Amino acid sequence: MPSPSDSHRGAFPQGQPHVPVLPVEVLELVAPAAGSTIVDGTFGAGGHARLVAAHMAGQGTYIAVDRDPSAEARFAAFAAEVAPLQTRFLRMPFPEAFAQLAAEGVSADAVILDVGVSSMQLDEVDRGFAYAHDAPLDMRMDPSVGATAADLLATLDARELERIFREYGDEKWAARIARDIVRRREAGPAVERSADLVEIILGALPKGGRLDKGGHPARRVFQALRIAVNDELGMLDAGLDAALQLLKPDGRVVVMSFQSLEDRIVKRRFEAWGGICTCPPGLPVCVCGAQAVADTITRKALTPSADEVTRNPRSASTKLRAARRVEPPRPHVMGGAR
């Protein structure tokens, strides 16, 4: 089940500089060096970009990707800071960017993904990501494209809203909340602001349902809506395979996720890249034809230390995984599942 939290990528206290999560571990896994080509699929505030670029000695290429237009201005400042390092910015979803770069013949030493909503987006209160501030229910990472959260609340039936809240937010009271949203819009006015949605959520919960040890009782619905609006899980699913194709042999894909739905996708994709051997245990050589296209570097997901969480509470739910491309694909040398 997903485990929503108040932790988000790009963690930093509001109004203070960006603090990249797991900096030592990210550097070790990305392994930047002079002459490297690094592709950052989720530039955000550029915290990890600055961390990595500082170890490239001004030589090589750093390609940043983000679909949020506000990231482009931050990238311009980053590019000036790290010159003469070659830099480039692509404003588009990362699966599209990876495919475009691969078609151009770019080969990366590492691809970085820091998925989910950024703290900057949460702190831009007029975008409707946060339940703590009243704002129009937009929630789009690219405000120029697609349906808003308010659009979904105005058009989806109760069954589909319930599915979204349950599947993407693990919301126990999904059916009641979806029912009340539909009733509200039928009676009018439309649910267009975050305060309106919070009011409906609180009203739909039974008396004991408002006591949520994990945080605000609205957080699960807000997370679920945001994931649906931005197709975050679909983007991650498509982006992982596109990232693998962009890597040089021995290149690495390094992924930070912040809730269990994301981490499950990453874990299962890495396992699939390792090949699924169906041979009986004990055979010295795999004869089923399974091949590994990547090796998982992180045996288990890496997580922040207690000290890091104390310094940066929004890092608490981070899980970091990495894999290395195998070229050419390697058959298994042992029978049985890996």
Q: Are 194 and 133 in contact (CB under 8 A)?
A: yes
**CA separation for the pair 261, 195 (Å, rounded):** 26
Predicted local distance difference test score (pLDDT) of residue 124: 77
Predicted local distance difference test score (pLDDT) of residue 16: 43
pTM higher than 0.85: yes
**CA separation for the pair 160, 308 (Å, rounded):** 39
Q: Are 337 and 276 in contact (CB under 8 A)?
A: yes
Residues of the chain with confidence (pLDDT) below 50? 1-17, 335-338
Predicted local distance difference test score (pLDDT) of residue 86: 98
Domain ranges (residues) in the chain: 23-119+232-276+293-325, 124-230
Beta-carbon contacts of residue 264 (< 8 Å; ≥ 6 apart): none
Residue closest to 61 by CA, chosen among 42, 37, 89, 27 = 37
> For residues 227, 228, 231 and 236, what is the CA-based torsion angle, rounded to 10 degrees?
40
Predicted local distance difference test score (pLDDT) of residue 18: 65
User: Domain 23-119+232-276+293-325 adopts which CATH fold?
Assistant: Rossmann fold (3.40.50)
Q: What is the 3-state secondary structure (H, E, C) of 247-267?
A: EEEEEEEEEEECCHHHHHHHH
Same fold, 23-119+232-276+293-325 and 124-230: no
> For residues 17, 45, 321 and 171, what is the CA-based torsion angle, rounded to 10 degrees?
90
Predicted local distance difference test score (pLDDT) of residue 208: 66
Main-chain dihedrals φ then ψ at residue 87, nearest 5 degrees: -135, 160
In angstroms, the Cα distances linking 267 to 128, 197, 254, 295, 322 are: 30, 33, 12, 12, 9
**CA separation for the pair 50, 76 (Å, rounded):** 12
Residue closest to 123 by CA, chosen among 114, 115, 136, 132 = 132
Predicted local distance difference test score (pLDDT) of residue 76: 96
> For residues 328, 334, 336 and 338, what is the CA-based torsion angle, rounded to 10 degrees?
-60
Predicted local distance difference test score (pLDDT) of residue 5: 41
Given strand 247-257, what is the order of strands in its sheet? 86-90, 60-65, 36-40, 108-114, 247-257, 319-331, 291-296
Q: Which CATH architecture has domain 124-230?
A: Orthogonal Bundle (1.10)
Predicted local distance difference test score (pLDDT) of residue 215: 78
**CA separation for the pair 257, 237 (Å, rounded):** 13
